[in-house]
Amino acid sequence: IEKVRRLETRRLESGPTMKSSSRTSALLTVAMAAVALAAVCRTPSAGCSDGGAMLSPHMHHNIAILPSDVYPGYGIKQFASDNKYAYFRLLETGFSQFFAVLKDGLLMTTTDLGLLVKRPVNLVVLEESPNATFTHNMQLFVLEKREMLRFAGDAAYPDGKVSENKPAGTRVRGVPVLHAFGEGVAGLPIRYAIVDGNDDGAFALKTAENIIAGNITNKSYYRGVHLVTKRPLDREQRPSYDLIVQAADGSGIDKAYATVHVDVLDENDNSPVFEQALYKINVDGFALGIDNGTVGPGRYSAVGRVSASDADGDRVAYRLSAPSAAVVVVPQTGELLVSDDVLRSREYFECQLTVDAHDLREPSRVAERPATVWIQYNFVVLDDDVLMQDFGAYDDGADHRVYKRRVTRAVRPTKRIEFTETDGEQEGRSVFPLEKETEKETFKIRDENPWVTVEPNGAVRVKKKWDYEELGPEKTIDFWVTITNAGVGGAISKMLKHANG
């Protein structure tokens, strides 16, 4: 650098000749015509930064590759300064007839560069301001276009596709062999690498010899690399990638870049998942009267809803695991609707259902854990024992009126207790007591049961010796108990006893 400065100082002290002054004026005329040109350098991005290794606090080292057929006025580099009073000039290094620097820092060509092919060109740009002077080193390499490293076409591959969950080494479809042509500055070997977009290490490069690595070195101009997966991908975590693949010559100076877009294709690898494992639904608005008649919400009224989601984004449909006479489920929405049987019978004070969910794809996936639905109908009972009828004369115009006193009865949850066959061997044995909520409560079995009886104090006793083989396929003893609280109406509770052999 000092040598270059001394040469420049001697040139200035000797004074410019008329010829050199005219030449400088002509060069500046050409340069001024190209002021609006953008600075261009061979990097992945459109802009050119003042990057590179910093050799000293006041000098920056830059490298650029130029094709030999660039036109005069071609912008090579736009130098920038933090000082608004700074101006730039090119020091003499033997190449002044080919290049010029405007005062605002634009480095450009001024003539044909054919004479500089394969010759190292070193330029020094001086940045001067009232308080400081900086020197920028610029190294240029001029190559024939056919010798510059380049990928085929426009080096953009937007249609890459690979399915999720595929094993490592799966080739990305829609991306051809990535092959850089040209010798560059130093020739072989050509080194390929993914330099951007692969932050999670999802992709690698593969040679014809089936070598898979993040960086590949090829010692032949006739071989490229394939883009492959480095691990199984998950579309739900990341649906697409934008990668930049670099090819560099043996010196690492000349480089070419290819952009690759990869979409991760969805596979049906997720089953629907219910928002809740257990749905508890209480339904009000029902009334029971004489002859088991029921008044309440209309047929197929909605009493609740189950919901499941699919991580693949698929639509979900619902169905009951087993048919139910009490409830139907709407496949498209998961709504639970009251069936006719509930409106006609007293047997469905409480019901438990299992609902499955499956996605609408082929092949379909079913929820690994179905949802359990517990529905309790809260009835207001029209008590048969307090019906009062007032019959008038049976002649014409007579009125027939029925007066009904409403008695509210709650339905307590079903009690489920497991026993063995030996627990019921002794007739009259008390197997378990019913819990009282108040001291005034009394109990009575609603319907006769061959296996058990219920005493007023709540003691459940063996009525007949239990026989496991006679209990039926479900091996249960089911019975309803009416609970009366003196002077306050009553409640109904269902007992379900499992007998194990």
**pLDDT value for 261:** 96
**pLDDT value for 452:** 92
What is the distance between the alpha carbons of residues 57 and 426, in angstroms, rounded to a whole number?
Answer: 102
Band the pLDDT of 376: cuts 50, 70, 90.
confident
Region of 223 (left: φ > 0; alpha: ψ -120 to 50; beta: rest) is beta
Band the pLDDT of 354: cuts 50, 70, 90.
very high
Where is average pLDDT lowest: 261-275, 350-364, 372-386, 449-463?
A: 372-386
What is the distance between the alpha carbons of residues 269 and 263, in angstroms, rounded to a whole number?
Answer: 17
> In the predicted model, what is the mean pLDDT of residues 105-127?
89
Chain-wide mean pLDDT for the chain? Answer: 75
More confident of the two residues 406 and 322: 322
More confident of the two residues 209 and 464: 464
What is the share, in percent, of the chain residues with pLDDT greater than 70?
72
**pLDDT value for 209:** 77
Where is average pLDDT lowest: 87-96, 311-320, 445-454, 481-490?
A: 481-490
**pLDDT value for 371:** 94
Band the pLDDT of 369: cuts 50, 70, 90.
very high
21-27 long-range contacts, CB within 8 A, separation 24+:
23/97, 27/96, 27/97, 27/100, 27/110
> In the predicted model, what is the mean pLDDT of residues 391-415?
46
Residue 501 has pLDDT above 80, yes or no: no
Residue 46 has pLDDT above 50, yes or no: no
What is the distance between the alpha carbons of residues 351 and 273, in angstroms, rounded to a whole number?
Answer: 23
**pLDDT value for 114:** 87
Residue 262 has pLDDT above 90, yes or no: yes
More confident of the two residues 167 and 312: 167
> In the predicted model, what is the mean pLDDT of residues 141-168?
88
Residue 409 has pLDDT above 80, yes or no: no
Where is average pLDDT lowest: 114-118, 154-158, 191-195, 483-487?
A: 483-487
451-457 long-range contacts, CB within 8 A, separation 24+:
451/424, 451/477, 452/477, 452/479, 452/497, 454/479, 454/481, 457/433
Band the pLDDT of 291: cuts 50, 70, 90.
very low
Residue 478 has pLDDT above 50, yes or no: yes
**pLDDT value for 496:** 52
Band the pLDDT of 167: cuts 50, 70, 90.
very high
> In the predicted model, what is the mean pLDDT of residues 143-148?
85
What is the distance between the alpha carbons of residues 224 and 179, in angstroms, rounded to a whole number?
Answer: 4
Q: What is the pLDDT of residues 221-256, one digit of tens each?
A: 678 899 999 999 988 889 999 999 999 888 888 888
Structure tokens at 120: 């190292």
The values of phi and psi at residue 162, to 5°, are: -150, 140
The whole-model pTM stands at 0.49
**pLDDT value for 475:** 80
Q: Domains (ranges, CATH) in the chain? A: 63-143 (2.60.40.60), 150-265 (2.60.40.60), 273-380 (2.60.40.60), 421-485 (2.60.40.60)
DSSP-derived secondary structure letter, 285? E
| Partners of 100 in the β-ladder | 108
**pLDDT value for 158:** 92
**pLDDT value for 182:** 82
Where is average pLDDT lowest: 105-109, 315-319, 413-417, 484-488?
A: 484-488
**pLDDT value for 411:** 59
Band the pLDDT of 279: cuts 50, 70, 90.
very high
More confident of the two residues 407 and 121: 121
**pLDDT value for 174:** 92
Band the pLDDT of 35: cuts 50, 70, 90.
very low
Where is average pLDDT lowest: 91-105, 235-249, 360-374, 397-411?
A: 397-411
Residue 410 has pLDDT above 80, yes or no: no
Farthest CA pair distance, the chain = 146
More confident of the two residues 471 and 122: 122
More confident of the two residues 49 and 56: 49
Band the pLDDT of 363: cuts 50, 70, 90.
confident
Residue 47 has pLDDT above 50, yes or no: no
Where is average pLDDT lowest: 119-123, 125-129, 281-285?
A: 281-285
> How many helices (H) and strands (E) would you count in the chain?
3, 37
The C-alpha R_g of the chain, in whole angstroms, comes to 45
Band the pLDDT of 150: cuts 50, 70, 90.
confident
